[in-house]
A and B are shown apart, each in its own frame.
Chain A
Amino acid sequence: MFRMFGATLLLAMREIRRHLLRSFLTTLGIVIGVAAVVTMVTLGNGVTASVQNQISSLGSNVLIVLPTRGSGSQVAWRPFKEADVTAVSEQIAGVEYVAGSVSKNVNAYHNGQVWQTSVRGADMAFLLAQSMQVERGRGFTSAEESAGKDVCIIGQKVEQQIFVAGIEPMGETMRLANVPCTVVGVMKERGTSGGGQDEDNQVIMPLKTVQRRFTGNNDLQYFVVKYASGYSGTAVQDALVQLLRQRRLLQAGEGNNFNIIDTAQVNQAVSAATGALTAMVAAIAAISLAVGGIGIMNIMLVSVTERTREIGIRLAIGALAREVRMQFLTEAVVLCCFGGLTGLVLAFALSFGLSKAIDVPFMFSPMVNVLSFLFSALMGIAFGYYPARRASRLDPIEALRHE
């Protein structure tokens, strides 16, 4: 049985080599189908990973709370106050800490140079919740935060623009608008945030300092709520909505004039979106593969007709119907496997190149590759079966008479 299989395999290879161009053209549908699926899935995984990377940079177990205009109602826009932050941290179960932030566009001056940037008022708790890290120098001390000292941590772009390359900026004094401040640290590079803001082009000062010297009030642009990992995001969110509605004097029936973003939910939404995309690609690929399969079936039928006499000879010298069927089935499967393999090589090159081009990680998935390959082999069986059965059912005497 095994011996027979080896010989059948060799025979199939030889037959395919004999019609190399025809075999290649026949498998093109499968090549393209497999290449499309594997490339899209690989790229999709890369995009998902890249997006999730960005989202996780927002921090996990973190809710972001922003004031908004109440949807379609007369509810006024209202900023959050320090008191809101205190209330949230004191009254909601599971909250580890709450930290607010404000920001303002300003010019930064140093060493006779000027650079457009923004100043962000934020304490270390805020930076922690947002996974923002100090790369060099140090963060703010709690004394600096509570006293509202004129200290700052600068983004990398600010450092490049107005500080001397190669010399550590720590201890230097720079000016933001007309406020002088001492550089104590440099932020780790972060790239552009989900909101489109360049997070490397900003100067961070303690919240109190910015409120006092730049915005002139104790309003908060938004705040983040970090909750303990044992608590569910939705439970904390519900409590938060209730508390904020009450504090913002909203009547029943009035919409929320604030918005809560749950990073976990964003994550889910992105997965759902990529999932839908993947499903669509899979559908397109399925059509392409079906077309490819019909191509295989067609060429196998041609092959059976061309080789009628050969089949007759094999049957006449004692081949069983199932042995002839196996021979043609093997040929179809080998053909499809070659197509699948070519598709995989193509997909590797394509997805490698494209992921570099759109700047997402190259996520080679052995699973997807193996499954696609197995699927193309399965196509060989599905579409090779009918021609193979036809070959095996030929009448030996008539097949021998065939010219």
Chain B
Amino acid sequence: MTPPAPPLIELEGITKVFGTGDAAFQALRGVDMQIESGDFVAVMGPSGSGKSTTMNILGCLDTPTSGVFRFRGMEVQALDRDQRSLLRRRYLGFVFQGFNLLARTSALENVELPLLYRGEKKSVRRAAAMKALDQVGLAPWADHTPAELSGGQQQRVAIARALVTEPDVLLADEPTGNLDTERSAEIMHLLQELNRGGITILMVTHEAEMAAFAHNIIHFRDGLVERIETGKDA
């Protein structure tokens, strides 16, 4: 047997303090977690418990105040801004509650964007973006702008944009927060399918029905991991 590979993601005693002095607020008070490659994890917890803060740190959009964050065994908590951007554009895909697509820009161009920053040439970008749109079932809508798409469709474009770089991890902060139950279920089925294809998924949600799609559920409370529910395996 080869020695066990390090977990894909490892957090040890992560804290996050916003503001300074009297206004200082400790949003995270020592978060520990391990995510294995291929996991599908849901993050739940009351509003303000630090879920988004954790996701932003995992997504390298933010840095912890203290603690260790290992990605594939490498410590990334101290990386500078540009290095975090490079890590993000190579290994991470991010999906937001508010979709965050570029307005007045076609679905195809939105999906191409991360590849543009990677310096891919146009033909490669086109092909990969079309493939990603096809994966989320939106190939026929490629030249529609966000304003011409429904909320569910917009979120699927956003997922395609996160997928197009073939990331190791898909981070989704309340991806169904703005969608009705039916659209939400569609998105969850899509994520489940993608996870079966091998991508690791970490998803924040308020709703137990959505969390039920995940293998494990991490419960947050007051800036700490309260408990971990280990459910079914893949």
- Size bin of chain A's contact surface: 20 to 34
| A318 touching B96 in the complex, CB below 8 Å, given contacts A4-B116, A313-B102, A323-B117 | no
Inter-chain contact B116/A321, CB cutoff 8 Å? no
21 of the cross-chain contacts (CB-CB < 8 Å) are: A4-B119, A18-B104, A310-B103, A314-B117, A316-B59, A316-B96, A316-B100, A317-B89, A317-B94, A317-B113, A317-B114, A317-B161, A318-B86, A318-B114, A318-B117, A318-B165, A320-B85, A321-B81, A321-B82, A321-B85, A397-B62
Cβ distance B213 to chain A, nearest Cβ, rounded Å: 24
What residues on A are CB-neighbors of B119 within 8 Å?
Answer: 1, 3-4
| A396 touching B61 in the complex, CB below 8 Å, given contacts A4-B119, A317-B161, A320-B82 | yes
Say if the beta carbon of B26 comes within 8 Å of chain A.
Answer: no
Q: Which residue on chain A has the smallest CB distance to residue B53?
A: A397
Say if the beta carbon of B29 comes within 8 Å of chain A.
Answer: no
Main secondary structure of the interface of A (DSSP, over half): helix
| A309 touching B100 in the complex, CB below 8 Å, given contacts A317-B161, A318-B85, A318-B88 | yes
Q: Which residue on chain A has the smallest CB distance to residue B103?
A: A310
Q: How many A-B residue pairs have CB under 8 A?
A: 61
Question: Chain A, 365-403, contact with B by CB distance < 8 Å: what is the 0/1 string?
Answer: 000000000000000000000000000000011001000
Inter-chain contact A319/B117, CB cutoff 8 Å? yes
What residues on A are CB-neighbors of B118 within 8 Å?
Answer: 318
Inter-chain contact A7/B116, CB cutoff 8 Å? yes
Docked complex Cα distance between A319 and B161 (Å): 14
What residues on B are CB-neighbors of A320 within 8 Å?
Answer: 82, 85-86, 117
Say if the beta carbon of A29 comes within 8 Å of chain B.
Answer: no
What residues on A are CB-neighbors of B101 within 8 Å?
Answer: 313
Say if the beta carbon of A340 comes within 8 Å of chain B.
Answer: no
What residues on A are CB-neighbors of B56 within 8 Å?
Answer: 397
Docked complex Cα distance between A313 and B114 (Å): 10
Question: Chain B, 41-60, contact with A by CB distance < 8 Å: what is the 0/1 string?
Answer: 00000000000000010010
Question: Chain B, 80-122, contact with A by CB distance < 8 Å: what is the 0/1 string?
Answer: 0110011011100010101011111000000001101111111
Cβ distance B125 to chain A, nearest Cβ, rounded Å: 9
**Could you list 13 further interchain pairs (A-B, Cβ under 8 angstroms) beyond the known A4-B116, A318-B114, A397-B61?**
A313-B102, A314-B117, A317-B88, A317-B89, A317-B113, A317-B114, A317-B117, A318-B86, A318-B90, A318-B118, A320-B85, A320-B117, A400-B100
